[in-house]
Amino acid sequence: MTVNARSYVLITPARNEGKFIRGVIDSMVAQTVPPLRWIIVSDASTDDTDDIVQEYMEHTPWIELVQLPQAGPRDFGGKVRAFNAGYDRVRDLDYAFVGNLDGDLTFDPDHFEFLLDRFAENPDHGLMGTTYIDIGKEAGDELTRDTEHVPGACQLFRREAFEAIDGYTPLPTGGIDLLAELACRQAGWKSRSYSERTLTHYRPVGTATRGIYASRFNYGYRDYYFGGDPLWQVFRVFNQFRHRPYIIGGLCILAGYVWGHAMRKPSPVPPKVRKFRRSEQRARMKRMFGGA
Q: What is the pTM of this model?
A: 0.91
Which band of pLDDT confidence, cut at 50, 70 and 90, is reported for residue 141?
very low
Bridge partner residues of 191 (DSSP):
127
Q: Strand 37-43 to strand 8-14: parallel, antiparallel, or no bridges (unpaired)?
A: parallel
Mean pLDDT of 14-27: 97
Planar angle of CA 133, 138, 144, nearest 5 degrees: 60
What are the two backbone dihedrals, phi and then psi, of residue 215, each rounded to the nearest 5 degrees? -65, -40
Residue predicted with more confidence, 134 or 164 = 164
Which band of pLDDT confidence, cut at 50, 70 and 90, is reported for residue 74?
low
Q: How far apart are CA 102 and CA 24, in angstroms?
A: 8
Q: DSSP per residue over 21-62, as a string?
A: HHHHHHHHHT-SS--SEEEEEEES--SSHHHHHHHHHTT-TT
Mean pLDDT of 206-220: 78
3-state class (DSSP) for residue 195: strand
Query: Would the pLDDT of 76 be above 70?
Result: no
pLDDT for res 48: 97
What are the two backbone dihedrals, phi and then psi, of residue 38, each rounded to the nearest 5 degrees? -125, 115
pLDDT for res 146: 83
Q: How far apart are CA 72 and CA 23, in angstroms?
A: 25
Q: What is the pLDDT of residues 93-132, one digit of tens each?
A: 999 999 999 999 999 999 999 999 999 999 999 999 999 8
For residues 118 and 125, the answer to whether their CB atoms sit within 8 Å is: yes
Q: For domain 8-201, which architecture applies?
A: Alpha-Beta Complex (3.90)
Q: Strand 105-106 to strand 190-201: parallel, antiparallel, or no bridges (unpaired)?
A: antiparallel
For residues 240 and 279, the answer to whether their CB atoms sit within 8 Å is: no
Long-range pairs for 78-82: beta carbons < 8 A, 24 or more residues apart:
78/13, 78/15, 78/43, 79/13, 79/176, 80/168, 80/169, 80/170, 80/176, 81/43, 81/170, 82/13, 82/14, 82/15, 82/41, 82/43
Burial label, 288 (beta-carbon count in 10 A; 0-12, 13-18, 19+): exposed
Query: Which residues fall within 8 angstroms of residue 65, CB to CB, at 6 or more apart?
Result: 39, 40, 42, 50, 53, 54, 57
Q: What is the pLDDT of residues 33-50, one digit of tens each?
A: 999 999 999 999 999 999
What's the full length of the chain, in residues?
292
Query: Would the pLDDT of 254 be above 70?
Result: yes
Compute how many other C-beta atoms are within 10 angstroms of the C-beta atom of residue 230. 13
Q: What is the pLDDT of residues 260-282, one digit of tens each?
A: 999 998 999 999 999 999 999 99
Domain boundaries along the sequence of the chain: 8-201, 212-289
